[in-house]
Amino acid sequence: MKTDTVIFDLDGTLLNTLEDLADSTNYALRAFGLKERRIEEVRQFVGNGVDVLIERAVGGALPKEKEKQCLEVFKKHYSKNMDNKTRPYDGILELIKELLQRGYHIAIVSNKFDSAVKGLNVDYFESLFPVAIGASDTVAKKPAPDSVITALKELHSTKDRAVYVGDSDVDIMTARNSGLPCISVTWGFRDEELQRSMGTDYIIHKPEELLEVLDGRNQAC
């Protein structure tokens, strides 16, 4: 079966969002009198959604009700500041346009809250992704397969025609739970050693290498 569908993670895969995430995290922590976190700490905290990010950043220093308030402060701040320092990784825009030129169906699935995912798709990709799904009350977060399944339905595609592209252990588990091959990227928030230890299917070091993997898969059909 020809591969004609690519499902992308967002943070650490398409966009380098780390500095804006760190800034909003530390804004929220300061609001509650907590110590700020180094950017490398925030790098390790991301991947499971902003609620887990704040839980990890707080580190048990607040009662749960205060932690929820801290999360809301983060969300409010991030919603207004999520594109201060965020940028697509080098070569990503060119890759996306080439995939569309070749007739691929593409989507974003993320554990970032849904309104932010949709906003970043507009701001950085000019809505080139016809489907962009984030965390919400109606779709379970990754590594559950729900967001991938929803994306495939909205793209009118099937898992036997699709691959998943991401940078983290959560992404590898998401691909596995969805029944998709995983292509791990090394320019994001997790290192290649972790990706290999998790048993990812492919590893790429530059965005254009994704085209080589897709060509190889389709030539093997």
CATH 3.40.50.1000 fits 5-16+86-219, yes or no: yes
> Which tokens sit at 139?
């779709």
Which residue, among 139, 212, 208, 217, has the nearest Cα to 178 in the 3D structure?
Answer: 139
Q: Peptide bond preceding 143: is omega within 30 degrees of 0, i.e. cis? A: yes
Q: Residue 207: exposed, middle, or buried by beta-carbon count in 10 A (0-12, 13-18, 19+)?
A: buried
Specify the DSSP class assigned to residue 161: G
Measuring CA to CA, how many Å separate 200 from each of 133, 147, 169, 173, 212? 23, 19, 9, 9, 17
Using one digit for the tens of pLDDT, what is the confidence trace for 44-101? 999 888 999 999 999 999 999 999 999 999 999 999 999 999 999 999 999 999 999 9
Q: Is 92 helix (H, G, I), strand (E, B) or coil?
A: helix
Give the start-to-end residue ranges of the domains of the chain. 5-16+86-219, 18-81
pTM of structure? 0.93
Contact of 159 with 179, CB cutoff 8 Å: yes
Using one digit for the tens of pLDDT, what is the confidence trace for 147-206? 999 999 999 999 999 999 999 999 999 999 999 999 999 999 999 999 999 999 999 999
Q: Residue 137: exposed, middle, or buried by beta-carbon count in 10 A (0-12, 13-18, 19+)?
A: exposed
> Which tokens sit at 49?
């959604």
The answer for 179, left when phi > 0, alpha when psi is -120 to 50, beta otherwise, is left
In this model, does residue 221 exceed pLDDT 90?
A: no
Q: Residues 18-81: name the CATH superfamily.
A: Putative phosphatase; domain 2 (1.10.150.240)
